[in-house]
Amino acid sequence: MHVTRIRAADFRNITFADVPLDAPRVFFVGDNGQGKTNLLEAIGLVSAFRSFRTSEISPLIRTGSTETRIRLDVQQDRESNSLEIRLAKGSRKALLNGTPIPSIAEHLGRFPSIIFCSDDLRLVRGSPTNRRRWLDAAIGGTDSRYLVALRDYTRALEGRNAL
């Protein structure tokens, strides 16, 4: 998969961005607070339907706005697609080529990505629990069946431990 363009509106500190990503390598360069990490977060958000920085929607929506929209144009196996996420308080929608995707499970694994940032140094220095969580998220982002199996395993483990 290759992301060829990202469009973001009212995402964190970004009012509007339309960034072509068709070069073999893309670098985001700028001063602190200019939105470099926010663009990476937006790509991860569309791919995994969740932010790697927060579990809440409200910090993702630019102050003064009611909704954020992020669209990725991707090239995968000679096929072009656009994937859009729309977030508002209490509402999450995903669209593939303008058509709503009815469930998150259908979306996961369609456009896999792995985000690795400086906070992830805890994977090396931290406990095995952190490494397992990161691996679960990475594998779950590419295979929705894994997420179902992990959920079932977690429920069974919690049930056993409650006895």
Token pair for residue 143? 């295979």
Residue-wise pLDDT tens digits, 124-145? 888 888 888 888 877 887 777 8
**Quick one: 160 and 87 in the same domain?**
no
How many domains does the chain fold into?
Answer: 2
For residue range 63-106, what is the model confidence (pLDDT) as tens digits?
999 999 999 999 888 899 999 999 998 888 989 999 998 877 76
| Domain around 25 | 2-115
- Residue 16 pLDDT level (bands cut at 50, 70, 90): very high
Final residue of a structural domain among 77, 96, 115? 115
pTM above 0.85, yes or no: no
Same-domain check for residues 51 and 85: yes
Half-sphere exposure of 53 (CA within 13 A, CB side): 16
* CATH code for the domain of 69: 3.40.50.300
**27-52 pLDDT, tens per residue?**
888 898 888 888 989 988 888 777 87
126 and 141 share one domain:
yes
Confidence at 107, pLDDT banded by 50, 70, 90: low
